[in-house]
Structure 1
């Protein structure tokens, strides 16, 4: 294990860089609110844009520890509403919203203006939706200590695997490989558990984990199991709403030109790394 003083020095430099970059935690963590803020203090007016998300980030409570969410979905929803000039309202997964029948699609379309979700196969999206893919394709990926004996996904059977609430892969590893999943409230808490030895591996979105293990502080936890087949983050818009489909497509094109999703990931991962630094009051496991 590296001397605590050296680790603290490196993490202090990370904290300084975070603050200087303007990527302080609240900028991303407010999720939809932060992404949807504008120059006008009164904010957007009119009918809210109702967005269905796979997981609704709990509202921050004063005095609680700040935690970055497991995905960038909320931030995308906030920026989408901002660019459309509408206030944002979010709801969780809708009943049968990703079912195969037209009736299910119609029901979901009537309850939300659109849905942001991860799609394994864009070819099987219900016909009542237009699927607009983002330039964001990820897969479940595992990270662990570099001296771990785990070399294959199958070796996770009966091993403790930490995952983050709201992540796209909660339940996958237990169901597919027989791992003992330990669900933590956030990626920060799952990563702290990994560092102190409370779990054998941490499984999360490959895009975010690949960004995280670039940091020198994570070199000791950079052994990985290769990402499984990737899924695509997409916005589902009711087919019958041609105007909405066109406007959302235009915004997604802007995001791609700006590499907006990649920027959200970088900010999120910097924030998460900083939160781990603030939270970890015990040394890494040996």
Structure 2
């Protein structure tokens, strides 16, 4: 046996009105709390009108080269540093910071931000405000297609070309027991594969793929599965929420896949031209 209780309509209206009022109060409190949290999270907008924006990077290019040739760099750290300085209306000052020293440099106030590569488990992600740029890649190889190495372990004892800026690639080649040849720029490393001076050149797979799509690189497009993926990020001190938000806003229109695809293709086209230029110059001498 069951009983059904139907309260009078006046009581129902009173109960429903109370619930609605409670919901409105809760919503108002939530919105107010969110506004307070957001204001705290945003922090003051940074002002660089009186001083330069100090950007930590893992490598600085030489002021010039003996033959005054310019080269496309290994990655996009320097480009992003310039973009951020422009977006913040600041003079840019690059500061060389070892990747493992990024956290300390931010904490000590030696730099305002660091543009670097970070893996999924990098401690920097827990100890700094990290803004993603939209670019990520693992390391891979460019080799001759007629005699490629079959596994990463086969690099032991082989000559591998790595650029000065590619600290991650250098560390990997050393761990694998390769005979490492460090060169100034990607074009020089890749040309050494074409000339046979190096068995392989080590670069980001995301940059090698558009290069391998060119007909002139089909004979030098052998590779191995990418390893040790990292993301290109901008790290800011944990207590500098305003700068982190400004960086995020500056990067947002540049971080989509189409923009990065265009950057990757430009990198490949420029490096391919530089290899051709240097090889022709070498043949002329």
Is the TM-score greater than 0.5? yes
Q: CA deviation at 1:83?
A: 1.2
Where 1:229 maps in the other structure, the secondary structure is strand
Asked whether 1:78 is paired with 2:82, we answer: yes
> Would you tell me which structure has more helix in proportion to its own residues?
2
| TM-fit CA distance, 1:264 | 2.7
Report the TM-score when normalising by structure 2: 0.75
Q: TM-score, normalised by structure 1?
A: 0.75
For 1:157-196, list aligned pairs within 5 A: 157-196=156-195
Unaligned runs of 5+ in 1: 1-43
Classify the secondary structure of the residue corresponding to 1:135: strand
**Which is higher, the Rg of structure 1 or of structure 2?**
2
CA shift, 1:178, in A, is 0.7
Contact 1:162 1:199 in 2 (8 A): yes
In structure 1, what is the Cα distance between the partners aligned to 2:230 and 2:176?
19
| Total equivalences in the alignment | 235
Which structure 1 residue ranges, 4+ long, deviate > 4 Å from structure 2? none
Does the Cα contact within 8 Å between 2:140 and 2:202 map onto a contact in 1? Answer: yes
1:108-134 CA-partner distances (Å, limit 9, x unpaired): xx0011000000125622644101112
Q: 2:68 aligns with which of 44, 64, 67?
A: 64
* 1:80-229 mapped onto 2 (5 Å cutoff): 80-93=84-97, 97-98=101-102, 105-107=106-108, 110-121=109-120, 124-125=123-124, 127-229=126-228
Instruction: Measure how far apart 1:149 and its partner are.
Output: 4.3
CA contact (8 A) 2:163 2:185 kept: yes
Once residues 60 and 202 of structure 1 are traced to their aligned partners in structure 2, the CA distance between those partners, rounded to angstroms, is: 24
Q: What's the Cα RMSD here?
A: 2.3
